[in-house]
Structure 1
Amino acid sequence: MKTSDNGEFAYRAVYRYLVELIEQMAPGSYSRLPSLRDLAQRLDVSISTVQYAYSLLEHEGRVQPVPKSGYFAKVPNSDIQPRSGGDLLQDLQQHGNSPRMLVLSGSQAQALQSLESALLGIERQLLRQYPRLAGAPQPCGELELRTALAARYTRSAQLYWSAEDVYLALDVRSLLETTLAALELHNSAVLVTTPCSWRLLRVFQAARIRVIELPLGPEGGLDLERFARLLRDEPVRLAMLASRLSVPHGSLMPEADRQAVARLLDQHGVWLLENDLDAELCYRPAAAGYLRELVDPQRLLVFSSLERSVGAEAPYAYLLSRQWQGSLHRHFLLRGFRLPPLRQQAVARLFNKGRIDLHLEQLRQRLHERLSHLYRQMQLHLGSQLDFRMPAGGACIWARVRAPVDTRPLFHRLLQQGLVIAPGELFSLSGDFRQHLRLGCPAGPQGDLQYGLSVLSDELQRMQSAS
């Protein structure tokens, strides 16, 4: 084998060069290394010499080859330690927000694009035309925004809304806390379909309200016999169901199930708390109707967030209710939410000008492209290890590990390699879905996704071999 000028084999010199290159990277980082051809030209050696050096590093576990993408460095992170007995959600949030981690846990959809510039432009225009708009905020939200939201949700002479039916809060958590306090659900239960957003589940948990979980079927349907039995035998006063798109499951409830659910809710006099957070993220908006169109509007509450449609610049949540006006108004007054009046009116103008509808159309298209790419890559790298479907909307894919593998230890093992996934048990208060995980596209280059899925596949193989 060719030697260098100092008598050292050339592959050893390339090996040392690569080791120093990796050691200069930030702990816990994941970075693409030079290609075989580029490194051969840079160091004036043959491609086979570089390939041999890479093979040594791969054998040592320092690099990861990704087909058609090259080699990626695997830099240990000394400050990331698996905490099998710790708070899983806290670990996910801490490491999911770290710029040094490759996050495959399902990023927020609105991070893809923002209406910030349009929103700020309208704010400046409003401030010039109406200087007094920056006055004292209203307790339930600005009239113009509440009017725009009421018009957006009005579908017919039977299912209509007015501005006085709309309540705004700082965010989804504060909105639900205030709503639950107004409903006074003491000594009763809330029925929730799972998997469900951990943010929503923990609002009920913090309010000390009993939660009865009803798992979704593979196609997004419900066990209707069990649903009817729970409504009959349990003190269920409120059912929280998705308006049409169930996230993170990524499914639409079949039409027959929607009809049956509406009949059962009416039969037992149970209120529907309709989760409309992700309805606008259906890839084919006309593919399914809304559950609220089938239930008694006198026992209907609908909630969502402007953050889903406008972006992080408008994190405000809203609730629609034609009943409980006195109690809701009193509790919103007591909370004293102070939402910026100018921003609310700017959002209302975006609705009225059709800018948000155009934005959502573009967002759905980008989400569908990204999730289609993720789905294809998962088929390529994980098709034999996971069961999953192409979602009907949203920004993530819900998957089940075929082998009996608990995704909590898998989560901690992946943290050591700078990779973040969302274990399935986070989406249930009763500890269900331990063989499931939620995956989404990372924010970085395309090669990052391939690298991350390759690491996940390797860890699944190791855990299956060890079991």
Structure 2
Amino acid sequence: MNHPPSHRYEQLAELIAQMIEKGTLAAGARLPSLRAASEQHGVSLSTTLQAYRLLEQRGVLTARSQSGYYVNGVRTTALALPSMSRGRTKPSTVSISDAVTHLLEHAANTSLVPLGCAVPDAALLQAARLDRTLARLARTQGENANIYSAPLGEHALRQAIAQRAMRVGQALSADDILITCGCTEALVLALSAVASRGQAVAIESPTYFGLLHTLEALGLKAFELPTDPIAGVDVAALARLLETETISACVLSSSFNNPLGSTMPDANKRSLLALLTAHDIPLIEDDIYGDLHFGRERPKPFIALDGGANTIYCSSFSKSIAPGYRVGWITAGVHMARVVERKLAFSLCSAVLPQRALADFLATGAYDTHLRRVRRVFQENLARMARTVEASFPAGTKVSRPQGGFVLWLELPRSVDTRTLFDKALERGICFAPGDVFSASRRFRNCLRLSAGYSWTARIESGVRTLGSLAREALMR
């Protein structure tokens, strides 16, 4: 269940959110200044600022320079948030490969309404521009690009990634970064460097099915941690787990967990890092959605908060620039030597031309302009999708409120089996991701994930409405 606010700033944020829901504060309205709100509610300036920033992170408020805070004009939904997941005190043996393969086969079918895979529409990203750049580089550099790259990857790309990392307080050099085949290879390298077959790792619940597939392939077990739809992993639950169990690593999203959309506040991230440090447990973080934030500031990754003492950072450009280029990266600190050894053994190196094309694109400065545009598109898509869910799905449906990325998590009434619903949806030309593929123990049978990564069209809206009708029919049986 959802826990009531415990801190004063959370209570104030909840009060303001209720005023907005009831229309007391309309879209576009300017909130009282920090000083005025502090006096009105009898709290400190810092408490008011924390409340405003929390609402900004949730996409409820927008901060305008030299002007103040305003109610965001993008209304999402009045539906309740999904329940906080329950943890498991025993590790699960992961067996999910067949279900994932089945889902991906259908998700790749372009004749189906694309609600299944969290892959953005190439037309919204920069694939066409990169293709032209890649073609130009192939013509002008010829044989010089048709080579194996250095083990770490192309220096120009690594340098560009290191420069961008400085924006969130992550101090890196090009030599701290290794280029991978997407974030998936980065996670494989990280896990194989710090954990051995038969050992267990701690993960969010629900979590990305690709991570679960990787755990299965590596023979690793999973402790599923209680995860709040807004604040992410319950640090106290992890502390209790570590009192009795041994884990080799903790694997978490830096922000906008897929599929739940949760982001841990910085204070919780620091508490978790301190806990893992005390137990000498490495953290592997997946920051693939970090650049797709809707708030004013990009959430800080864990590695920017602990300086990379025992954190392995993984990310890629697959969700923000070009999925098909499969360019990701990893920085592993004290574990880097083992990561490089495994990169050489598994794939030797990454393709040169895609790296050079991305380095060229980043050097133009166009990435930030592109991000501002695509963030607005994804935020509007999610808002439209949530409103369509509210209008068409059965009573009692709960929906996430991600403040970044482009996926939506739905919790349906208990009697609805989304695995059966998946088969019905395929018959109607619709693909989505059933909830059980996001759990090592195959929970969340009454949940599902929708992708909002494509331009919102009548076809997409009709697909969501039809899916809602099928869910209502399943409830009546």
1:365-376 counterparts in 2 under 5 A? 365-376=376-387
1:315-334 counterparts in 2 under 5 A? 315-334=326-345
Contact 2:406–2:453 (Cα < 8 Å) also in 1: no
Across the two proteins, how many residue pairs are aligned to each other? 381
Alpha-carbon offset, residue 240 of structure 1: 0.9
- AA of the residue aligned to 1:409: T
Is 1:162 aligned to 2:173, yes or no? Answer: yes
Which shows bigger deviation, 448-457 or 387-396?
A: 448-457
CA deviations on 1:214-256 (whole Å, 9 max, x unpaired) are: 1311323333321102223221121111112212111222343
Structure-2 change in CA distance of 1:259 and 1:312 (3 Å) = closer
Q: Secondary structure of the equivalent of 1:310?
A: coil
Matched with 1:108 is 119
Is 1:150 aligned to 2:141, yes or no? Answer: no
CA deviations on 1:62-100 (whole Å, 9 max, x unpaired) are: xxxxxxxxxxxxxxxxxxxxxxx9943333222222233
Q: Secondary structure of the equivalent of 1:301?
A: strand
Contact 2:203–2:250 (Cα < 8 Å) also in 1: yes
Contact 2:400–2:408 (Cα < 8 Å) also in 1: yes
- AA of the residue aligned to 2:400: R
1:353-432 counterparts in 2 under 5 A? 353-382=364-393, 384-432=395-443
Matched with 2:186 is 175
- AA of the residue aligned to 2:127: E
**Alpha-carbon distance between aligned partners in 1 of 2:454 and 2:321, rounded to the nearest angstrom:** 19
- AA of the residue aligned to 1:152: R
**Alpha-carbon distance between aligned partners in 2 of 1:236 and 1:443, rounded to the nearest angstrom:** 38
Q: TM-score, normalised by structure 1?
A: 0.74
Alpha-carbon offset, residue 400 of structure 1: 0.3
Matched with 1:25 is none
Q: TM-score, normalised by structure 2?
A: 0.73
Gaps of 5+ in 1: 1-84
Structure-2 change in CA distance of 1:155 and 1:420 (3 Å) = closer
CA deviations on 1:298-319 (whole Å, 9 max, x unpaired) are: 2111001122232034212210
1:126-145 counterparts in 2 under 5 A? 126=137, 130=141, 133-138=144-149, 139-145=151-157
Is 1:457 aligned to 2:468, yes or no? Answer: yes
Is 1:190 aligned to 2:185, yes or no? Answer: no
Is 1:206 aligned to 2:217, yes or no? Answer: yes
**Alpha-carbon distance between aligned partners in 1 of 2:170 and 2:99, rounded to the nearest angstrom:** 42
CA deviations on 1:417-459 (whole Å, 9 max, x unpaired) are: 2222211111111112111111234858733234323322332
Contact 1:236–1:270 (Cα < 8 Å) also in 2: yes
Contact 1:230–1:236 (Cα < 8 Å) also in 2: no
CA RMSD of aligned residues (A): 2.7
**Alpha-carbon distance between aligned partners in 2 of 1:395 and 1:381, rounded to the nearest angstrom:** 20
**Alpha-carbon distance between aligned partners in 2 of 1:120 and 1:146, rounded to the nearest angstrom:** 20
Contact 1:244–1:252 (Cα < 8 Å) also in 2: yes
Which shows bigger deviation, 427-436 or 93-102?
A: 93-102
CA deviations on 1:116-158 (whole Å, 9 max, x unpaired) are: 34324444554566556314222221121122222222358x8
Contact 2:120–2:323 (Cα < 8 Å) also in 1: no
Contact 2:152–2:349 (Cα < 8 Å) also in 1: no
- AA of the residue aligned to 2:145: A
Q: Secondary structure of the equivalent of 2:325?
A: coil
**Alpha-carbon distance between aligned partners in 1 of 2:194 and 2:392, rounded to the nearest angstrom:** 48
Matched with 2:264 is 253
**Aligned match for 1:283, one of 294, 297, 308:** 294
Gaps of 5+ in 2: 1-95
Q: Secondary structure of the equivalent of 1:248?
A: coil
Structure-2 change in CA distance of 1:351 and 1:86 (3 Å) = closer
- AA of the residue aligned to 2:107: G
Structure-2 change in CA distance of 1:108 and 1:285 (3 Å) = farther
Alpha-carbon offset, residue 168 of structure 1: 1.5
- AA of the residue aligned to 2:273: A
Structure-2 change in CA distance of 1:133 and 1:106 (3 Å) = same
**Alpha-carbon distance between aligned partners in 1 of 2:361 and 2:425, rounded to the nearest angstrom:** 42
**Alpha-carbon distance between aligned partners in 1 of 2:336 and 2:207, rounded to the nearest angstrom:** 28
Alpha-carbon offset, residue 409 of structure 1: 1.4
Alpha-carbon offset, residue 162 of structure 1: 1.6
Which shows bigger deviation, 103-112 or 300-309?
A: 103-112
Q: Secondary structure of the equivalent of 1:240?
A: strand
CA deviations on 1:184-217 (whole Å, 9 max, x unpaired) are: 4355321111211111111011100121111311
Aligned identity (percent) is 26
Q: Secondary structure of the equivalent of 1:294?
A: helix
**Aligned match for 1:91, one of 81, 102, 105:** 102
- AA of the residue aligned to 2:162: A
Q: Secondary structure of the equivalent of 2:319?
A: helix
